[in-house]
Amino acid sequence: MNNASHLKRRKKRVGCPEEAAFLELCRTTDELGRRLTALLKAEDLSPTQYNVLRILRGAADGLACGEIGNRMITRDPDITRLLDRLEKRELISRCRESKDRRMVTATITAEGLGLLARMDEPVRAMHRSQLGHLGRARLGALTELLQASRRETT
């Protein structure tokens, strides 16, 4: 079966335009994400770990675990264990606040910053190869549509 007839059959099975858009979004997310996962694997990083490092790079004074969780792209129910793995590799450090011992702040280390610096261009190149053909205007429109869809569901 060729690709065109497969897509035609798929359209017939989808119940409504919202479902069709949702399924295409899921397929696209999976396809784009697999390539990022493969790229990060070379540095022994998961996409979730990479996301935490990027979040911490943007927080000069560090962040509490709960705030890291709030900023993550995908939720991880066990932030503590995720941070344990990054700390073991010396990519982040954590310290308890003296005023409130329950509060733990995580900061990115120089080694973590170096790892991200090495990854910046390969990740940008991957994104350009995945989405650059859409052009600035279409990418802007896509970004706006995706943001609007999240606003309506929250």
Dihedral angle, C-alpha 148, 74, 32, 7, nearest 10 °: -60
Express each pLDDT in 110-135 by its tens digit: 999 999 999 999 999 999 999 999 99
DSSP 132: G
pLDDT bin (cut points 50, 70, 90) of residue 1 is: low
pLDDT at 11 over 60: no
Q: How many of the other CB atoms lie within 10 Å of CB of 149?
A: 13
Cα-Cα end-to-end distance for the chain = 40
Residue ranges covered by each domain of the chain: 32-153
| Average pLDDT of the chain to the nearest whole number | 89
Query: In Å, how far are 36, 44, 95, 114 from 53, measured between CA atoms?
Result: 15, 13, 16, 11
In this structure, CATH architecture of domain 32-153: Orthogonal Bundle (1.10)
Report the alpha-carbon distance of residue 85 to residue 54 in Å, rounded. 16
Express each pLDDT in 86-96 by its tens digit: 999 999 999 88
Average pLDDT over residues 44-63: 94
Q: Judging by DSSP bridges, how do beta strands 92-96 and 63-64 pair with one another?
A: unpaired
Query: Is 12:20 a contact under the CB 8 Å cutoff?
Result: no
pTM comes to 0.82
Q: Which residue has the higher pLDDT, 36 or 7?
A: 36
pLDDT at 7 over 70: no
pLDDT at 14 over 70: no
Which pLDDT score, from 0 to 100, does residue 154 have? Answer: 53
